[in-house]
Amino acid sequence: MLRLLYLALALWFTMPVAAAAQSLQDILQTHQDEVLSPGRRSVGVVLDDLVASGLPQALPFLESWRDREIVQRDSDGLFFRVTEDGDTVTLQDLDTGDTLTASEDDLTESRPNGGVRRAIGDALVQFQLSDPDIAKRKAAVEAIARSMDASQLGPLAASIDDEPDAELKETKTRLVGMLGALFAETTDARVSAIEALSGDLSVDVRAVLNRILSNSEAVAASVPEDANIARMLVVGEDLTATDAYTRLVEAELAPALITKLQIREALVANIDGDAVSGVPVATLNTDAARALAYDLLAADGTVPPRVDETTQTEAVAAHRFFVQYAETDPAITDAARAALDNIERNVALNQSVDLGLDALSLASIYFLAAIGLAITFGVMGVINMAHGEFIMMGAYTGFVVQQFVPDYTLSIIIALPLAFAITFGAGVLMERAVIRHLYHRPLETLLATFGISIALQQLAKNIFGTQARPLTSPEWLDGALVFNDVVAISYIRVAIFVLALVFLCIILFILKRTRLGLEVRAVTQNPGMAASMGINTDRINMLTFGLGSGIAGIAGVAIGLYAQVTSEMGASYIVQSFMTVVVGGVGNVWGTLAGASLIGFLQKGIEWLNPSNTLAAQTYMILFIILFIQFRPKGIVALKGRAAAD
């Protein structure tokens, strides 16, 4: 509504002028001379009238004018747009767009010079910036943001007041701020523009400030008076003497060093019989010997002499090395520095929030992957090496469901319980067939389940092949929740976090509020006593194993959504899951949560310290865990009582 009002107002203002000159040709005819041979000054009048006219055809005219496509027909003095195609010359009416042919002799070209064309360009921008079509205005603003040119500041600033669209107005204002910081006329104007930017975290603002602060390293005998110095470089601290000399050479302030390669080439080129300057070739197998031979050659004047150490040191000592801003005004660079520092502090703060979110989502994944393992380990003291393969089974279940149910939302809704059911079944089967027979032999259980793990992995490979299978997430999980330019988190990660939270609640509920949970806790704390109290430990073991495996299946679907589904995916999570359980402390949901959080945050933290190398990050993390176990062998949340004593 408001926009319509703006539009109406704009139209109303432009109306009288438009009424005075109905067509473009009319306006051009009133300024015939200026159009034909425009001067830097005189062109202003034409442009003003054109802009004021608000005619839609003025815009293409300006473009053509700038591109030197406007001609005057000598016979009647009318202006046309011209296109030449070989010998035929086509004229186009500027108002109607009708085409007609003409002979070349009858035409005089309008030839605006560089300055004029720039002025036309500015007017064009202004035109586009106040074009009634919002798409065009947006495009113009984007073009300015891309090129960031001094000439754009004026027109852009002028177009702000009349901008009807609030959002675009905001963008324009920001852009004017950035352009002002770069190009405003006076130092004060620039400084205040820069200061106004210091609250903005966006990348383009940081780019603008960095552009103002662009600097270069330089060397001179003495620091130039008018230079805006960022800082001085101290030889020995900021750069090595060798580097310093290299810079002198680059700046042509000192003779180049003779490299070892050059020495070698010079020697090879001057071999005389089996010696170089009398030095036998066979002895030239050390740098010192080669240098000696070269010096002899240099003494003969065959080759340029080497630059010796003292010359180098003296040359370096005789010069100043410094970093110099391209911007000469220190007031501006200082302001920019302060603004950038402020922004960077802010960005760092936001980055740590972002990192925290990343870590949280990683922790959720570890929690989901490990909680099933923790439950079975806690209750039965059994490490299930095939846990990772249950994760894989869950993920493949998701994949298979998607082959039959093309709707991604629906397929995920089906896949989650189905994955649970399948892995629950597999877990129960494994417990009945294998693990039950190996109680009190934990190490052998570990190995037997490992046997199952390799068999399952290979089976998956045989069935699904070695290539990664996609598990596509529903559309509403695409994209990310964006807080600002720095902080963002993808919806899938949010979903996994929610899933982990839901599972935490479900498991806590089962353990704390149900009969099954009571029995499970009893068996965890003292299996013998629990059995003598009439609890069917066999059944409890079976159910907990099924439950643990079922959760692994669900974790598999969740992990498959954001990572690839392969037959080896389980293996990549199993060690992390063990770590989570061991670090957290066995047999305790909170312990697993603590372990997952610690490992998730730690991994992200290490990755942040050493972003280029994720392998190193993982290595360090495992080393940390090994050390951690030294100090808390029972994990963060240690189970107490006789059960834990041995």
Partner 1 sequence: MQRSFLAQNPSVLWFIAILAVFTVVVTLMSEVTGVGLISTSFVKTLGKTLCLCLVAIAMDVVWGYCGILSLGHFAFFGIGGYAIGMWLMYARTEGIVMTSLAGQPIPPTPAEISDAIGNQIFGVVGSSEFPMIWAFADSLALQLLMVVLVPGLLALVFGWLAFRSRVTGVYLSILTQAMTLALALYLFQNDSGLRGNNGLSGLQNIPGYQDVSQATVSIIFFIASALALAAGYVFFAWIVSGKMGSVVKGIRDNEARVRFLGYHVESYKLFIFTTTAVVAGIAGALYYPQAGIINPGEIAPIASIYLAVWVAIGGRGRLYGAVIGAAFVSLLSSWFTGGGAPNIDLGFYVIQWTDWWLVLLGFSFVAVTLFFPKGIGGLFDYLVRKPS
Ligand X SMILES: Nc1ncnc2c1ncn2[C@@H]1O[C@H](COP(=O)(O)OP(=O)(O)O)[C@@H](O)[C@H]1O
646 binds ligand X per the rule CB under 6 A: no
Stretch that binds partner 1, among 80-88, 181-189, 341-349, 620-628 (CB under 8 A): 620-628
Number of residue whose CB is nearest ligand X: 645
264 binds, among ligand X, partner 1, none (CB under 5 to 8 A by kind): partner 1
Running DSSP on this structure, what letter comes out for residue 266? H
- Beta pairing partners, 262: none
The single-letter DSSP state of residue 275 is E
Judged by beta carbon, residue 152 or residue 588, the one nearer partner 1 is: 588
Residue 367 burial (CB count, 10 A): 30
Q: Give the residue with the Cβ less far from partner 1, 480 or 623.
A: 623
- Residue in 458, 514, 536, 610 binding partner 1, rule: CB under 8 A: 458
Our finding on whether 610 is near partner 1 (CB under 8 A) is no
CB of 642 to ligand X, least distance (A): 5
User: How many chain residues are in contact with ligand X, going by CB under 6 A?
Assistant: 3
Position 642 contacts ligand X (CB under 6 A): yes
CB of 523 to ligand X, least distance (A): 17
Question: For the chain, what's the residue count?
Answer: 646
CB of 528 vs partner 1, minimal distance in Å = 19
Site membership for partner 1, residue 140 (CB under 8 A): no
**Matching residue, tokens 């902080």:** 487
Read off the tokens for 394.
């869950």
Measuring CA to CA, how many Å separate 321 from each of 97, 229, 316, 333, 573? 63, 11, 9, 20, 53
104 binds partner 1 (CB under 8 A): no
CA angle 186, 191, 192 (to 5 degrees): 100
Question: Of residues 284, 477, 510, 552, which one binds partner 1 by CB under 8 A?
Answer: 284
Distance CA 379, CA 545 (A): 9
C-beta of 289: minimal distance to partner 1 in Å? 8
How many positions of this chain bind partner 1 (CB under 8 A)?
Answer: 58
Q: Which of 74, 188, 444, 538 binds partner 1 (CB under 8 A)?
A: 444
* Among positions 26, 162, 185, 287, the unique one binding partner 1 when judged by CB under 8 A: 287
Beta carbons of 596 and 603 less than 8 angstroms apart: no
Of 215, 192, 486, 484, which Cα lies nearest the Cα of 338?
192
CB of 587 to ligand X, least distance (A): 15
Q: Determine if 645 is a binding residue for ligand X (CB under 6 A).
A: yes
Q: 3-state DSSP: the chain helix, strand, coil percent, rounded to 5?
A: 65, 10, 25
Q: Directed axis angle between helix 537-562 and helix 515-525, to 10°?
A: 100
Give the end-to-end CA distance of the chain in Å, rounded to a whole number. 77
Contact characters 573-592, partner 1, x per CB under 8 A: --x--xx--x----------
Least distance (Å) between residue 378 CB and ligand X: 17
Nearer to partner 1, 30 or 614 (CB): 614
- Residue 328 CA to residue 105 CA, distance in Å, equals 53
Single-letter code of the amino acid located at 18: A
**Residues in region 343-382 near partner 1 by CB under 8 A:** 377, 381
**Number of neighbours of residue 159 by Cβ within 10 angstroms:** 23
Of 187, 210, 409, 462, which lies in the binding site for partner 1, with binding defined by CB under 8 A?
A: 462
Our CB check for partner 1 shows the closer of 218 and 275 to be: 275
Residue 641 interacting partner from ligand X, partner 1, none (CB closer than 5 to 8 Å by kind)? ligand X
Please give the full DSSP string across 284-344, using - where no structure is assigned.
--SHHHHHHHHHHHHHTTSSPPPPPHHHHHHHHHTSEEEEEESS--HHHHHHHHHHHHHHH
Site for ligand X in 622-641 (CB under 6 A): 641
Q: Which amino acid is at 7?
A: L
What is the Cα–Cα distance from 422 to 398, expressed in whole angstroms?
11
Q: Which residues lie near partner 1 (CB under 8 A)?
A: 260, 264, 267-268, 271, 276, 281-282, 284-287, 290, 377, 381, 383, 434, 437-438, 441-444, 446-448, 450-459, 461-462, 571, 575, 578-579, 582, 613, 615-616, 618-619, 622-623, 625-627, 629-631, 633, 646
Q: Which residues lie near ligand X (CB under 6 A)?
A: 641-642, 645
